[in-house]
């Protein structure tokens, strides 16, 4: 007997007819019909038995009701005792057993039996059926379309009278040949009418369809999974689609790759509303066959095109520990998602079925966890590079809501989706669970292995999202971007980051006792409120140049969290253990910095050595600013010596201890400090600040290049040294005098300007645009008039006497570039008055804003010094000649002192002494450019 239902309008198909069904099977084929109000019972069963009638369906009953495309049912009347035998027989398709039970039933015009699919194939090797229907395609070439991309039972017309339906297992873990199959042989329906109904319905659908393509909905790829590789497309609309595209296209950096096949063309010509198109390299899925080459890049960021539809694939890990997940564009809870297939593996996905289709939850099912009730409590970046203790990284979470199921959540980290669980996973209130990089085998934690990636050096808790799979409701986890946790000491990450109301490196309190005994402070799987013990420190040593580092010192018997902040408001946190009094910090581990270092971020020193703000050992807030780079270069001898902070006005001393591992350098990271002796001149004449007592090894002299005599001095405290200046008696009291200090603990010549002459060099223009327009500017800073005819100016080669300009060039009255005037016939320089010494070949000089009309204009009597040109960086000195002797009065560069320096400029720049400065260092001068 045969019934046909092929209309798209009307009532629900008649599943259990009251009449017309006897002991002979009745075959009902339906096409273009689906239930208006699907029944919610026995949703996964292939058979239903009511009122003495058993019906077998081509799909599980709940899917059968939703299927608009090709489907069938076979009904016959039987006693309940026989039904139970059938039920047990069909259960063999789903239940894995070493041996399948005997199932063989015979009627007047039918037979049903359980066999292996391979044996059935062997039986029909030498016979060709009149008609065959498999993979949606009839042997006539006619295609019947389906909503679900699931295999229907095989249908064969063996003879004009006898037909056969083969029900196969949906267990992918079985080998195809050994898999169970139930073969049902019965009298044939009117197959001609079935084919005709399919053709009529197809013609109707092609008339009303839209020429659009489906959208990408699900992908999967893993060689260790029974699902193999598949690519799924879905029609998300209520319309029928008839795509025009005949190929799929893969776009990547290498170009475009196309796929096409005859079966793809046939099965993709029409896609029913909410219908699925499945391409797979796994034959048991019975999707459209596609070589694995095309699916080998799934889970990357390639683009796949189906006509006008563009599917942007994303980075995805299909295997996560012992679980497998597909990547879906829309999804529901892994627990509730409808999956037709069965496997031994833990799998979340539903190839061939719309992603949002759900099973009916059991009354005992717990609600899904909400993102709002999940909190991060601890983070550890891992210690995988340590062969001795390769502890995996983890994120620890706590459920601060009611008891719930985790399988409805996604964790989104580094733009990659990690579903929580393939199956129902119950989390009690306040319970903890971990996402781990690798399993903590044997520790008994509730953990899920996730293949997230973290760099070896991690200083912050990475941001991430937790999202419901169904509604996409999202909770964003953001952590302070300006907080850096210094977890890595030497070659190990010794601490996790504890997170509660605030975050900090995990203290000893609350740490796992086993891990603590190995030197690690973390508590995976447990969480309790922990206080943050704070302590202060002292900056002891630093090197801002080659192999940068700095050391902090602490009280040995204290432990706790030490923090410091930079001027960019970045704050760094460290756990200081007991028994350690010095901690070294660096962003560049090397032999020069030793092997016991705390790692800083790579770019910590990229903008120079930052100022540090921290709490001192005494509890006071401290600030260490490191000044200009040029000063640090000078004090450290271009980075050869590390530096030690000192109290003002000394600020810095240098390391005297040669590095045992870094030849040519003086530094002591992590070790006892040996500081250089530093002396600074105070505002009180003859009194000097020191960073240590100046002992008897010190030698003090005074004078200049003309003479040098021993001086008398002594330490009056560990921080002050007194020099007796009454012994500084010279035959000319206007002569400029220096002091000279020597001591084994001084790393460079040291001395000071103790007396200046009456006239001082205050500005120099060594390289004007016009070479002959150079000048030297000097002023009388004494209380007496000075006759400049008694003065000489000298560079590093020659010396020339000064004369008024008109003495050398009578009758000439030169002007500056802007018409500025001078007093050019006078040599007497009054107190507070200034003068310009110019090249005799120059004219129209550029004069800065400090020029006055009352300034004297002088030149040289010959052309040996300024007339011959002053080089950039060259020293210039002013001397006074009396009684046949010359005395040093003023100097630029101070070549006769212990603190010689050179200041270079480019063409068009001049040098001007800052106000109230002695001119004894580069920092005492400013550089300006000639204004046009």
pLDDT, tens only, 477-536 = 999 999 999 999 888 999 999 999 899 999 999 999 999 999 999 999 999 999 899 999
Q: Is the dihedral of CA 193, 198, 203, 208 positive or negative?
A: positive
What is the C-alpha R_g of the chain?
46
Q: What is the mean pLDDT of residues 844-859?
A: 96
- The mean pLDDT value for 705-720 works out to 90
- pLDDT for the residue numbered 868: 57
Q: Is pLDDT of 867 > 60?
A: no
**Pick from 264-273, 629-638, 833-842: least confident:** 629-638
> Stretch 765-794: mean pLDDT, rounded?
95
79 vs 7, 86, 90, 166, CA distance in Å? 33, 11, 17, 23
Asked if residue 7 has pLDDT above 60, the reply is no
Q: In angstroms, how far is CA 253 from the centroid of its own chain?
A: 24
Please state whether 914 falls in left (phi above 0), alpha (psi between -120 and 50) or beta. Answer: beta
**Residue 595 in tokens:** 């092997």
Question: Which of 102-106, 201-205, 902-906 shows the highest mean pLDDT?
Answer: 201-205
State the pLDDT at residue 457.
87
* Rama region for 236: left / alpha / beta (φ>0; ψ in -120 to 50; rest): alpha
Question: What pLDDT, on the 0 to 100 scale, is given for residue 726?
Answer: 80
For the stretch 567-586, pLDDT in tens is 999 999 999 999 899 999 99
Average pLDDT (418-437) is 96
pLDDT band, very low/low/confident/very high, at 678 (cuts 50, 70, 90): very high
pLDDT at 748 over 90: no
DSSP 8-class letter at 756: -
pLDDT at 15: 54
What's residue 509's pLDDT?
Answer: 94
For 184-243, the pLDDT digits (tens) are: 999 999 999 999 999 999 999 999 999 999 999 999 999 999 999 999 999 999 999 999
Q: With a cut of 60, say whether residue 727 has pLDDT above it.
A: yes
**Mean pLDDT score, 813-833:** 95
What is the phi-psi region of residue 518: left when phi exceeds 0, alpha when psi lies from -120 to 50, beta otherwise?
A: alpha
| Angstrom distances, CA of residue 768 to CA of 641, 677, 771, 775 | 38, 42, 6, 9
Residues 6+ apart with CB under 8 A from 206: 242, 270
pLDDT digits (tens, 9 = 90+) for 319-373: 999 999 999 999 999 999 999 999 999 999 999 999 999 988 888 889 999 999 9
Q: pLDDT at residue 16 above 70?
A: no
pLDDT bracket for residue 14 (50, 70, 90): very low
Mean confidence (pLDDT) of the chain: 92
Give the pLDDT band of residue 6 (cuts 50, 70, 90): very low
Q: pLDDT band for position 8 (50/70/90)?
A: very low
Mean pLDDT of 629-634: 83
User: Is the pLDDT score of 11 beyond 50?
Assistant: no
CA distance 439 to 328: 26
Q: What is the pLDDT of residue 3?
A: 44
Residue 458 predicted with pLDDT over 90: yes
Average pLDDT over residues 117-126: 93
Strand 416-419 with 131-134, pairing: unpaired
For 803, phi and psi rounded to 5 degrees? -140, 150
Q: Residue 240: exposed, middle, or buried by beta-carbon count in 10 A (0-12, 13-18, 19+)?
A: buried
Whether 896 shows a pLDDT value over 60: the answer reads yes
Residue 618 has pLDDT above 90, yes or no: no
Span between the terminal Cα atoms of the chain, in Å: 110
pLDDT digits (tens, 9 = 90+) for 805-818: 999 999 999 999 98
Q: Locate the DSSP E strands across 329-482.
A: 346-348, 374-380, 394-399, 404-405, 409-413, 416-419, 426-427, 432-436, 447-449, 464-468, 474-477
Res 98: pLDDT: 56
Mean pLDDT of 863-880: 77
Judged on CB neighbours under 10 Å (0-12, 13-18, 19+), 260 is exposed
Over residues 299-317, the mean pLDDT reads 95
User: What does pTM read for this prediction?
Assistant: 0.81
Please compute the mean of the pLDDT values over residues 162-190 and round it to a whole number: 94
């Amino acid at each position: 007997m045969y019934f046909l239902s092929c209309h798209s309008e009307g009532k629900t198909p008649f599943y259990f007819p009251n009449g017309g069904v006897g002991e002979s099977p009745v075959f009902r084929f339906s096409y273009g019909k689906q239930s208006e109000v699907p029944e919610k019972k026995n949703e996964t069963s292939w058979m239903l038995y009511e009122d003495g009638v058993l019906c077998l369906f081509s799909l599980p009953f709940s899917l059968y009701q939703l299927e608009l495309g090709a489907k069938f049912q076979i009904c016959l009347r039987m006693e309940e005792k026989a039904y139970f035998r059938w039920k047990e027989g069909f259960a063999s398709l789903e239940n894995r057993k070493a041996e399948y039970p005997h199932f063989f039933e015979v009627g007047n015009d039918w037979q049903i039996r359980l066999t292996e699919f391979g044996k059935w194939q062997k039986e029909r090797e030498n016979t060709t059926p009149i008609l065959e229907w498999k993979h949606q395609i009839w042997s006539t070439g006619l295609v019947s379309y389906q909503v679900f991309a699931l295999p229907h039972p095989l249908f064969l017309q063996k003879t004009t009278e006898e037909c056969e339906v083969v029900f196969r297992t949906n267990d992918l873990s079985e080998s195809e040949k050994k898999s169970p199959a139930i073969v049902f042989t019965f009298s044939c329906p009117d197959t001609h009418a079935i084919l005709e109904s399919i053709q009529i319905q197809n013609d109707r659908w092609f008339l009303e369809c839209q020429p659009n393509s489906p959208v990408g909905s699900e992908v999967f790829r893993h060689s260790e999974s029974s699902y193999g590789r598949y690519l799924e497309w879905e029609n998300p609309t209520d319309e029928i689609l008839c795509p025009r595209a005949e190929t799929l296209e893969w776009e990547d950096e290498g170009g475009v790759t196309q796929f096409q096949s005859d079966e793809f063309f046939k099965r993709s010509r029409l896609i029913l509303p909410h219908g699925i198109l499945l391409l797979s390299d796994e034959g048991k899925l019975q999707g459209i066959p596609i070589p694995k080459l095309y699916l080998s890049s799934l889970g990357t960021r390639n683009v796949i095109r189906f006509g006008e539809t563009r599917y942007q694939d994303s980075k995805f890990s299909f295997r996560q520990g012992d679980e497998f997940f597909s990547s879906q564009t829309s999804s529901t809870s892994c627990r509730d998602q409808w999956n037709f297939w069965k496997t031994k593996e833990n799998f979340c996905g539903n190839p061939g079925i719309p992603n949002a289709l759900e099973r009916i939850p059991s009354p005992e099912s717990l609600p899904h966890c909400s993102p709002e009730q999940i909190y991060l409590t601890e983070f550890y970046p891992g210690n995988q590079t340590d062969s001795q203790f390769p502890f995996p990284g983890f994120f620890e979470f706590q459920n601060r809501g009611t008891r719930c199921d985790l399988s409805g959540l996604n964790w989104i980290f580094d733009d990659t989706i990690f579903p929580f669980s393939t199956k129902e996973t119950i989390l009690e209130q306040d319970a903890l669970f971990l996402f781990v990089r690798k399993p903590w085998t044997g520790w008994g934690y509730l953990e899920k292995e996730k293949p997230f990636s973290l760099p070896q050096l991690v200083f912050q808790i990475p941001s991430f999202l937790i999202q419901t799979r169904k509604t996409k409701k999202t909770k964003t986890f953001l952590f302070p971007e300006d907080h850096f946790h210094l977890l890595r000491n030497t070659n190990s990450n010794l601490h996790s980051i504890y997170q509660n109301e605030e975050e900090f490196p995990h203290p000893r309190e609350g740490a796992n006792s086993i891990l603590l005994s190995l030197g690690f402070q973390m508590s995976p799987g447990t969480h309790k409120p922990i206080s943050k013990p704070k302590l202060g420190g002292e900056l002891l040593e630093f090197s801002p140049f080659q192999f940068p580092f700095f050391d902090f010192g602490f009280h040995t018997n204290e432990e706790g969290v030490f923090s410091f902040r930079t001027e960019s408001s970045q704050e760094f946190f460290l756990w200081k253990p007991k028994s350690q009094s010095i901690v070294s910090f660096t962003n560049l581990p090397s032999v020069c910095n030793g092997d016991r270092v705390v790692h800083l971020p790579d770019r910590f020193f990229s903008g120079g050595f930052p100022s540090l703000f921290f709490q001192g050992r005494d509890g006071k807030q401290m600030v260490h600013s490191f000044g200009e780079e040029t000063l640090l270069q000078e004090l450290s001898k271009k980075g050869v010596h590390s530096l030690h902070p000192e109290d003002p006005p000394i600020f810095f001393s240098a390391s005297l201890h040669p590095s045992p591992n870094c030849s040519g350098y003086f530094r002591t990271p992590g070790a006892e400090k040996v500081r250089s002796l530093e002396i600074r001149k105070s505002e009180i004449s003859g009194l000097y600040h020191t960073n240590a007592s100046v002992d008897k090894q010190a030698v003090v002299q005074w004078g200049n290049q003309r003479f040098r005599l021993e001086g008398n001095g002594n330490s009056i405290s560990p921080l002050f040294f007194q020099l007796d200046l009454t012994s500084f008696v010279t035959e000319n009291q206007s002569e400029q005098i220096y002091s000279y200090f020597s001591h084994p603990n001084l790393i460079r010549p040291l001395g000071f300007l103790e007396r200046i002459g009456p006239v001082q060099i205050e500005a120099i223009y060594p390289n004007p645009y016009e070479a002959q327009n150079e000048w030297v500017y000097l002023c009388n800073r004494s209380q007496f008039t000075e006759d400049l005819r008694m003065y000489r100016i000298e560079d590093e080669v020659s010396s020339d006497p000064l004369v008024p300009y008109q003495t050398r060039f009578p009758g000439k009255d030169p002007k500056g570039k802007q018409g500025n005037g001078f007093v050019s016939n006078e040599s007497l320089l009054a107190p507070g008055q200034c003068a310009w010494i110019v090249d005799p070949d120059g004219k129209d000089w550029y004069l800065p804003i400090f020029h006055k009309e009352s300034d004297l204009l002088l030149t040289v009597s010959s052309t040996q010094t300024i007339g011959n040109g002053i080089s950039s960086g060259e020293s210039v000195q002013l001397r006074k000649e009396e009684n046949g002797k010359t005395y040093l009065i003023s100097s630029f560069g101070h070549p006769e002192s212990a603190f010689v320096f050179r200041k270079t400029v480019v063409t068009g720049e001049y040098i001007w002494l800052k106000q109230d400065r002695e001119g004894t260092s580069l920092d005492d001068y400013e550089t300006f450019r000639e204004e046009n």
